[in-house]
Structure 1
Amino acid sequence: MTALVQRDHESLDDMSLAALVAARDPHAVRLVTTRNNQRLFRAVFAILGNRAEAEDAVQSAYLKAFAAIGRFEGRSALSTWLTRIAINEALARQRALKRRRAHLDAAAVTVLDDYRETFMQGSIAGTAPDLAHARAELRQLLERAIAALPAPFRIVFVLREIEGQSVEEVADALDLNPATVKTRHLRARRRLREALAPDVKEALFGSFPFAGADCEALTARVLAAWAPEAR
């Protein structure tokens, strides 16, 4: 029965799924989060640069979105609508973080280490250990270069180049003019070319992995908060 319900849900359009999420249907919640976890995480991580903070922000964004999902009108894709909410959540946290930092800097106290933790390590199944090590090092190099981009360039680059969103989708999610998206994407690529060899672009798709246990854990936390009776 569960498999049948899942198949039925997968065939639903965005408005129908949104209605089921509003009704706290656990299958709809699971489907929506599983479909969007990685996209939202990557977008938020591009802004916050910290894994734990990004996961918390995505979870908070889901709960805010689900609480307001009755107002979803389908004028954009549900994924775009969720991305916009997640980005706004990340930007709000970033502003709050800057305020806290300013206060702490005045007292000459350093309490935050944005890059204390290495970016996520992806598994490379079926490859030799030395190749896996080389790929991991290459991925870290690339991710550090992306993290060093100015924030306005970084978020556009991640959404366009890694997530594969169109100019229009990015413009919609970030509330920008499409021409601005194109310009920022071009400048981000130019800066990265100055720092990286051309062939590292092949590692982009594997960058910032957020799947498997990480994806399932986030979905479980959202389900527990939004549809606890499904546990």
Structure 2
Amino acid sequence: MTTATPTPESDTALVQGILAGNVFAFERLMRQNNRRLFRVARSILRDDAEAEDAVQDGYIEAHRALAGFRGESQLSTWLTRIVVNQALARRRARRPEASDIALDTLVDEGSDDIIQTPETEAMRAELRRIIEASIDRLPEGHRTVFMLRAVEGLSVDETATVLGISAGNAKVRFLRARAQLREALGQHLGTLLEDVFTFDGDRCDRIVARVCTRLGLQPPAPPGLPAHEDEPPHT
């Protein structure tokens, strides 16, 4: 499923709403970007809890710097760059890590056309786990490029902008990452990529609530509960 690219007008309206103190505009900003930001932070840190913290810190920084946003790139690209920097800073603060483990050769003979049963669902879950582990084992410089290009669907130029590298470098890293994963997993990545590093509703709600609390904002009502009286009507 292809997600429509936000227009500059929608970014401008969102920024104006946030700067005017509309907490619901800030909630929309977070919910629209939470999954991408978590995935890119997770690809750098390889730890769910640290990735959540990096995303939250990124939102705090973005909220404080939002008045300086000039629309020279998409708002989502600007946010992703902030979270990438947060994740990289966290990784640098760690003790030096051991060298990456070489990928094992993992080939699965499967098909998306088979009838779904508890057994096949279990096999699918296991293959997803193997894919996630294999992505984690990609070389550091290739892993985040792969997540942004293959999983989040960013263009070469957007990926290069987010990571502060050249478009040519982004292309090379992506091709090498994809070749390594294909060698490890065969040709069965396609439809499973959408499921990797699952970003569920609880995690999304948790990030929104914690960021609002840290900024002294009243957290919006969780989905399914009555909204605050000052929430603008949905259109």
TM-score normalised by length of structure 1: 0.80
Tell me if the contact between 2:8 and 2:71 (Cα under 8 Å) persists in the aligned partners: no
On the 8 A contact 2:45/2:87 being kept in 1, the answer is yes
- The two structures, once aligned, show a CA RMSD in angstroms of 2.0
Amino acid at match of 1:15: T
CA distance in 1, matches of 2:219, 2:181: 45
Query: Which position in structure 2 is the counterpart of 1:25?
Result: 22
Gaps of 5+ in 2: 1-6, 99-115, 221-235
Structure 2: how far apart are the matches of 1:204 and 1:85? 24
Q: Distance in 1 between matches of 2:71 and 2:8?
A: 16
Q: Give 3-state SS (helix, strand or coil) of 1:44's partner.
A: helix
Q: What does residue range 23-102 of structure 1 map to in structure 2 within 5 Å?
A: 23-98=20-95, 101=96
Give secondary structure in 2 for the equivalent of 1:198: coil
C-alpha distance after superposition, 1:59-102 (max 9, x if no partner): 0110011110000000100000000000000001111113xx58
Per-residue deviation, residues 169-219 of structure 1 (Å, max 9, x unmatched): 101111111010000000101111111120133211111111311111111
Contact 1:146–1:154, Cα closer than 8 Å, also in 2: yes
| Residue matched to 2:118 | 129
How many residues are treated as equivalent by the alignment? 197
Contact 2:8 2:74 in 1 (8 A): no
Match of 1:110 in 2: none
**What is the identity, as a one-letter code, of the residue corresponding to 1:165?**
L
Structure 1 counterpart SS, 2:197 = coil
Q: CA deviation at 1:56?
A: 0.6
Using a 3 Å threshold, how does the CA distance of structure 1 residues 211 and 23 change in structure 2: closer, same or farther? farther
Specify the code of the residue in structure 2 equivalent to 1:215: C
Identity of aligned residues (%): 42
**Cα distance in structure 1, aligned partners of 2:212 and 2:120:** 38
Do the aligned partners of 1:15 and 1:73 also contact (CA within 8 Å) in 2? no
SS at match of 2:73: coil
Separation in 1, partners of 2:126, 2:218: 43
2:177 aligned residue:
188
Match of 1:221 among 210, 213, 216: 210
**SS, match of residue 188 in structure 2:** helix
Structure 1 residue 197 corresponds to structure 2 residue 194: no
Who is 2:112 aligned against? none
1:230–1:144 distance in 2 versus 1, CA, 3 Å: closer
C-alpha contact (below 8 Å) 1:24/1:227 kept by paired residues: no
* Distance across 1 between alignment mates of 2:34 and 2:73: 18
User: Deviation at 1:227?
Assistant: 4.8
Determine whether 1:209 maps to 2:198.
Answer: yes
Contact persistence 1:26–1:227 (CA under 8 A): no
Greater helix share, 1 or 2?
1
CA distance in 2, matches of 1:46, 1:21: 29
Q: CA deviation at 1:11?
A: 11
Q: Find the partner of 2:158 among 169, 172, 187.
A: 169
Aligned counterpart, 2:106: none
Q: Secondary structure at the match of 1:228?
A: coil
In 2, Cα distance between the equivalents of 1:20 and 1:86?
A: 22
SS in 2 for 1:73: coil
| TM score, norm. by length of structure 2 | 0.79
CA distance in 2: counterparts of 1:190 and 1:229, whole angstroms: 47
- Alpha-carbon distance in 2 for matches of 1:205, 1:230: 29
